[in-house]
Structure 1
Amino acid sequence: MSRKRRNFTAKLKSDLVLELLKGEKDLNSIATENSIQPNLLRNWKKEFLDKASVVFDDSREENIREKLDEERKEKEAYAKKVGQLTMQVDWLKKKSTELLGSDYESKFSPKPFDD
C-alpha cells in the first residue's frame, strides 16, 4: 500500500491549531477528524506558537521594504552596468574588425579559459 504525500495549506494548519488552542476538543480528536497524525499537529502547534511574536513585530515590515528597495536598486545598477559593458564590447569588436580585419582574433593568443 503506497502512501500519498499530502500537502496542507497554511490556512488549514492555522485553523486546526487555533481549534486546538481553544481547547474545545483535544489533540487526538482533532487529528482523527482530519486524518492527521497527532505528532504532526503537535509540531504545527509548536511552530505556530514559536512564530506568533512575528505578528506584532512592526520593524519587520519596514525592514522587508527597505531590503526589497535596496535589492531593486542594486539589480538596476547591475543591469545598467551590463548594458554599458555590452555596448563597449560590441564597439570594440566593430573597431577591431575595421582596423585589423575579420580574423583579428587569430592574431592573438587564445583565451585562457576558452573551450
Structure 2
Amino acid sequence: VERFWRSIKYEEVYLRAYESVRDARSSISNYIGFYNSGRPHSSLDGSTPDEAYFGGRQMAEAA
C-alpha cells in the first residue's frame, strides 16, 4: 500500500496542477485505472495487477 501511494504522488499528483477537487478526483481515478490495467509492475514480473489477479483474462469476463 505504501508503494501504491508513493506511485500516485510521484507519477500523478506532483506532476499536475489541478484546477479543482473535481479535476483532481477525475485525474487520480484515471491514474488508478492505468496503474491496475496498463502499468507493468516489476514485482509481478512485468505484468499488470489485473493480469496477475485475473490470470490474463479480459476485464469484461472477470467483471
TM-score clears 0.5: no
TM-score (norm 1): 0.22
Going by fraction, where is helix more abundant, 1 or 2? Answer: 1
TM-score (norm 2): 0.32
Structure number, greater radius of gyration:
1
**Higher relative contact order structure (alpha carbons within 8 Å, sequence separation ≥ 6):** 2
